[in-house]
Homo-oligomer: A and B are copies of this chain.
């Protein structure tokens, strides 16, 4: 296909959704992508650009002719244009801004003036509003007379004379009510506005928690400045989850299409931190060199205690990080949940220490060695449960993202405690 037949390519892409074309462009290698963009160039529309990941998007935009690019962005809503250009370099930003109509350009520039990851960056400026004293007939006539309605809208926002939103009416109610009904009588009960400076994570949480479909955005004076729709909130929710998962694993953000060098750079820092903490474990072990020299079986068994602690700590930590993110963990239930985790740790410890201790006692023919590893396991699982809870809670209180940093601390704690408990007990009891 990529042998040069532009018409065939256009025909093949015709039935595909923009999001699928974007995925395809992301998944092929650089050369194929450049060939595709050259061939398909004139057909690339704003929606495809919107769907592309940042790193690929820059590449594609640079390859497009200015006229094609201008046509592509002009058909987008302002919130999509903002999303499109906020990560581009300045020269590319200016090219796109120049291509917009004057009113859209002002709207986009205003959105860009709000901080990154704020509601102001997410909102679209195209609004469907009505004075609160209108009736249904006036509203419908007004809508029919408008030329430039947003592509998607689900509510008519009611405003007072100072442009402060006072409620909204779903289009369903507007459609099904008699023309003489006052809009104010149709307004939804569950009306929420979003402050323009609110963090996008909070916005997504509000949409998910309160089942919002769209929500008006207001400035510091409570005046209406934009509207956020659920599809944008859903995309943010998806991104936040992705961040959480990747951060828990110590992988920075990035995409599969990034190069080897960029990926290495993102992953090395966490591994370097782990090298330091692993050094700490080595330091602990080195204090027991004589004990190990006297009984080499200890070297064979000690990773078991540490690895079990690491796993139990990760379980406890993950549950806690999630609960913090979903706001399920609050001061109302913190102590109850901590008590539960510690009890779970104790139970896990006892349940697993028994078979481990028995096996070790049998295999090594040394009952005391079995008792020592069992006791060390119980201690380490208790500490893992408590640490897995307390570390993320403490980081959250200190204003550090618990997903980002908890892992290092928790596994350091369980490694150090695991080696110390096992080797220390062994030194005291067996030699």
Contacts and interface: CB of A to CB of B under 8 A. Distances in A.
A303 interface: yes
Nearest to A20: B209
A245 B240 CA distance: 12
Query: Main secondary structure on chain A at its contact with chain B?
Result: helix
Nearest to A173: B149
Given A26-B328, A293-B293, A328-B26, A306 B304 contact: no
A260 B343 contact: yes
A319 B256 contact: yes
Interface in A219-265: 230-231, 233-235, 237-238, 241-242, 244-246, 248-251, 255-257, 259-261, 263-264
Given A230-B234, A289-B300, A315-B249, A336 B29 contact: yes
Contact of A292 (B28, B238, B267, B299): B299
Contact of A278 (B19, B255, B307): B307
A27 B340 CA distance: 13
A300 B271 contact: no
Interface stretch (A88-96, A103-111, A114-122, A344-352): A344-352
Given A238-B208, A248-B245, A268 B146 contact: no
Contact of A318 (B144, B152, B246, B286): B246
A285 B256 contact: no
A420 to B, nearest CB: 13
B415 A271 contact: no
A314 B250 contact: yes
A67 interface: no
A246 B241 CA distance: 12
A322 interface: yes
A397 interface: no
A126 to B, nearest CB: 11
Interface stretch (A2-10, A36-44, A174-182, A193-201): A174-182
Contacts of A302: 299, 303
A113 interface: no
A349 B322 CA distance: 32
Contacts of A327: 23
28 contacts: A17-B190, A17-B209, A17-B210, A20-B209, A28-B333, A143-B172, A143-B175, A149-B172, A171-B175, A230-B234, A233-B234, A238-B241, A245-B245, A245-B248, A246-B319, A249-B317, A256-B328, A259-B340, A260-B340, A261-B347, A263-B344, A267-B315, A278-B308, A281-B307, A282-B301, A292-B299, A299-B299, A299-B302
Interface of A: 17, 19-20, 23-24, 26-29, 128, 140, 143-144, 146, 149-150, 152-154, 170-172, 174-178, 190, 207-211, 213, 230-231, 233-235, 237-238, 241-242, 244-246, 248-251, 255-257, 259-261, 263-264, 267-268, 270-272, 274-275, 278-279, 281-282, 285-286, 289, 292-293, 296-304, 306-308, 311-312, 314-315, 317-319, 322-323, 326-330, 332-333, 336-337, 340, 343-344, 347-348, 351-352, 355-356, 411, 415, 419
Give the top 8 A-B pairs by smallest Cβ distance, nearest first: A249-B318, A171-B171, A299-B299, A241-B241, A278-B304, A264-B347, A27-B333, A143-B176
